[in-house]
């Protein structure tokens, strides 16, 4: 495996991932935020996995984007709640560990680690392979499908 490709300075990786998971985030925000907080607080991570899996299957090939069995929330009187879900992306030779951050009106990502196995090109080539893997893992957006 190559050294980590994504770090706080690698905006290209985070941007590509954020764009790819935006629809998943929108789907996840259909669940009441109080439910997320209850599941996290009571350590019902299997319930979170079910919610995430149901949302992901609409937008990504099977097994490519999974819940990483980690979650947290921020809740105080001064602002809207934030839900953080630990996630993993695996497709082709790419592996990304990241936090999916759900806020009231947007989805963000915080990439923790990303590698391309068998990386032997330049860092730019490896980044291109990582971004191509993200693009290839996506399914056509179901909102774009027309009924027969």
Answer whether residue 50 is part of any domain. Answer: yes
Provide, rounded to the nearest whole percent, the portion of the chain with pLDDT above 90: 73
The full DSSP string for the chain is -PSP---TT-HHHHHHHHHHHHHHHHHHTTS-HHHHHHHHHTT-HHHHHHHHHHHHTTTB-TTSEEEEEEEEEEEETTEEEEEEEEEEEEETTEEEEEEEEE-SS-EEEEEEEEEETT--S-HHHHHHHHHHHHHHHBPPPGGG----
With bands split at pLDDT 50, 70 and 90, how would you rate the model's confidence at 8?
very low
Residue 142, both tokens: 């179901």
Answer whether residue 144 is part of any domain. Answer: no
**Rounded alpha-carbon distances, angstroms, from residue 63 to 36, 60, 126:** 23, 8, 22
Answer whether residue 41 is part of any domain. Answer: yes
With bands split at pLDDT 50, 70 and 90, how would you rate the model's confidence at 144?
low
Residue span of the structural domain in which 69 resides: 11-139
Instruction: Enumerate the β-bridge partners of residue 107.
Output: 102
Number of domains the chain contains: 1
Stated pTM of the model:
0.88
Residue 82 burial (10 A CB sphere; 0-12, 13-18, 19+): middle
Residue 92, both tokens: 């082709």
Position with higher pLDDT, 112 vs 141? 112
- 26-46, pLDDT tens digit by residue? 999 999 999 999 999 999 999
Name 63's Cβ contacts closer than 8 Å, sequence gap at least 6.
90
Answer whether residue 52 is part of any domain. Answer: yes
Q: What is the pLDDT at residue 143?
A: 65
Strands 65-76 and 94-102: unpaired
Q: What is the pLDDT at residue 45?
A: 97
Does residue 2 register a pLDDT over 80?
no
């Amino acid at each position: 495996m190559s050294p980590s490709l994504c770090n706080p300075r690698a905006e290209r990786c985070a941007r590509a991932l954020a764009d790819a998971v935006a629809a998943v985030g929108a789907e996840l925000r259909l669940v009441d935020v109080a439910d997320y907080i209850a599941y996290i607080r009571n350590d019902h991570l299997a319930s979170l996995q079910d919610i995430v899996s149901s949302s992901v299957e609409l937008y990504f090939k099977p097994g490519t984007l999974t819940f990483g069995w980690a979650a947290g929330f921020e809740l105080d009187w001064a602002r809207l709640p934030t839900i953080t879900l630990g996630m993993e992306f695996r497709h082709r030779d790419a592996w990304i560990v990241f936090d999916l951050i759900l806020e009231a009106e947007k989805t963000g990502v915080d990439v923790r680690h990303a590698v391309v196995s068998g990386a032997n090109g330049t860092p730019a080539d490896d980044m291109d392979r990582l971004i191509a893997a993200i693009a290839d893992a996506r399914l056509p957006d179901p909102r774009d499908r027309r009924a027969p």
